[in-house]
Amino acid sequence: MVGARSANGARVVLPGQARHRWPALLALAVAWCAAGEARAARVVVFPLDARGVDASLTQEGTRTVLARLRRVRGLEVVDPETGQAELGVNLTKQARACEYDVFCLVEVGELLQAEQVLIGHLSRPLPTDPKADEGLEFKLIVLDVARAAITEVLLWRVPDLDPSALQEAARAAVSRLFAPKDAELMVELSPPDAELRIYGEQVNLPEAGTAMPYWSGVYHAVVSAPGYLSERLRIPVMRGDEPARVSVSLEPDPLYVAEAKGPVKVFDKDSRRIGSGASAGTVGAVEVPPPSQRYAFQSVPPWLVAGAGVGLSALGAALMQSAQASYNTRAEERRFVAGETYGADVAIRVRDDSRLRYRAGSGTLIGGVGLVVGAGLWMVVDALLTEPARVGEVRPAGQPGRAALDPAALAAARRMSLEAR
């Protein structure tokens, strides 16, 4: 732009130059807009909040999130230390003071002149949580400061294996929230109705053999299907021409009990495996006593058997004693006395009778002892079978599940199932 300056320094537009003014302004505006587009978006990162987990774990997670965010182009990251230094407040305390209210949180973003706020937590689920066995809850929320609204929510389940699993999850989560899809994933599952959950999030799979765009990173996943044993996977998805391939064939679960479909008539089949797939306990048709009220040696039938055994033993002992007494009476009488000593034929009959009664008595006694021993074994076995239910869980009505067996029994059942197949 050509111009001139007056003596006092003010710019003076010369005659004939005015007709070039508007194009110049337009060029300036375009340049300013271009500069605005290229300007990095400022993101304030709150420290991950620790809920029921060790603080060092969330600190490591926060560091991983920051490191990955700094590698995303077009972002200017305001880390917690910088934010705290500029505001003079602890961001974690501030977030808690805000009670995670959106308007309160974006106020922090406004003060730091940021466009976005990234806030999240790592939490250990309660044992009563049905997803407790899926791992730690990892949640990230992206807030749009200008609109004072939540724009992205990511809720993952991270296996509680070691810190590296959290690091991998944090890197993948940041990619998911802030980076474009830069890789491809091809999944083939058997059975076809199996579902793939990545960090607890179900993945909508395309047709088999079709690759889908995905974010690069390392993912912990679970493949599951009704009637099959679930399988845990660690899937590295790398950038490149070739898609990451996942091929999983699940093994059938020999102990699977299908969920009831519709009303169930209890005990209308020989076996619940060939019936509706629901047991009486599952559908709530019978009342399962609370585990704490079940004790070993409390079952009545074994005690009745044991009592019968004791009675038989007493009867047998009495028979034996009576037989021996009869024999002794005859054996101890005087001999060689004419008219007084019983003849050999009479004595033989008495002896045979005593032998028979004694044998019957001893058999009865042994049978009674056997019953007592058997009842004792019954009680012991009953106690052993009752024990897992006492310390284990009682499945809520209507929820399918697998029988509670120890790993060795489970492996044996699986082997039998495979051999039979």
Torsion angle defined by CA atoms of residues 46, 51, 55 and 58, in that order, rounded to the nearest 10 degrees:
-50
> Could you tell me how many residues of this chain bind another protein (CB under 8 A)?
30
Interacting span for another protein (CB under 8 A) from 83-91, 212-220, 265-273, 335-343: 335-343
Q: Which of 115, 180, 175 is nearest to 151 (CA)?
A: 115
Give me the least distance between CB of 340 and another protein, in Å please.
10
Strands of the sheet with 195-198, listed across from one edge: 201-202, 195-198, 217-224, 231-237
Prior bond to 191 cis, omega within 30? Answer: yes
* Euclidean distance between CA atoms 303 and 376, whole angstroms: 8
Strands of the sheet with 244-249, listed across from one edge: 211-214, 183-190, 244-249
Residues 6+ apart with CB under 8 A from 183: 213, 214, 215, 216, 237, 238, 239, 240, 243, 244
Give me the least distance between CB of 324 and another protein, in Å please.
6
- For residue 273 the two structure tokens come to 């495996």
Give me the least distance between CB of 255 and another protein, in Å please.
25
Binding mask 222-251 for another protein (x = CB under 8 A): ------------------------------
Give me the least distance between CB of 306 and another protein, in Å please.
15
Give me the least distance between CB of 384 and another protein, in Å please.
15
Q: Which is nearer to another protein, 89 or 331 (CB)?
A: 331
Amino acid making up residue 306:
A
DSSP letter (8 states) at residue 404: -
Q: Which is nearer to another protein, 89 or 366 (CB)?
A: 366
Select from 5, 19, 261, 335 the one that contacts another protein (CB under 8 A). Answer: 335
**Block residue for tokens 């602890």:** 90
Binding mask 296-325 for another protein (x = CB under 8 A): ------------------------x--xx-
Q: Which is nearer to another protein, 73 or 335 (CB)?
A: 335
Q: Are 408 and 416 in contact (CB under 8 A)?
A: no
Q: Which of residues 337-366 bind another protein (CB under 8 A)?
A: 338, 341-345, 347-348, 351, 354-355, 358-359, 362-363, 365-366
- For residue 214 the two structure tokens come to 């995905």
Give me the least distance between CB of 342 and another protein, in Å please.
6
3-state secondary structure of 277: coil
* Euclidean distance between CA atoms 78 and 114, whole angstroms: 8
- For residue 101 the two structure tokens come to 């209210």
Would strands 11-12 and 75-78 be described as parallel, antiparallel, or unpaired? unpaired
Select from 30, 149, 208, 377 the one that contacts another protein (CB under 8 A). Answer: 377
- Cβ–Cβ contacts within 10 Å for residue 309, how many? 20
Q: Which of 120, 130, 118, 135 is nearest to 219 (CA)?
A: 135
Q: Which is nearer to another protein, 324 or 417 (CB)?
A: 324
* Euclidean distance between CA atoms 63 and 296, whole angstroms: 53
Give me the least distance between CB of 368 and another protein, in Å please.
10
Select from 30, 331, 397, 411 the one that contacts another protein (CB under 8 A). Answer: 331
Work out whether 181 is an interface residue with another protein (CB under 8 A).
no
Select from 51, 63, 272, 330 the one that contacts another protein (CB under 8 A). Answer: 330
Q: Which is nearer to another protein, 153 or 384 (CB)?
A: 384
Give me the least distance between CB of 191 and another protein, in Å please.
41
The answer to whether the Cα torsion of 409, 415, 419, 421 is positive or negative is positive
Give me the least distance between CB of 304 and another protein, in Å please.
18
Q: Which is nearer to another protein, 190 or 322 (CB)?
A: 322
Give me the least distance between CB of 405 and another protein, in Å please.
21
- Contact positions vs another protein (CB under 8 A): 320, 323-324, 327, 330-331, 335-336, 338, 341-345, 347-348, 351, 354-355, 358-359, 362-363, 365-367, 370, 373-374, 377
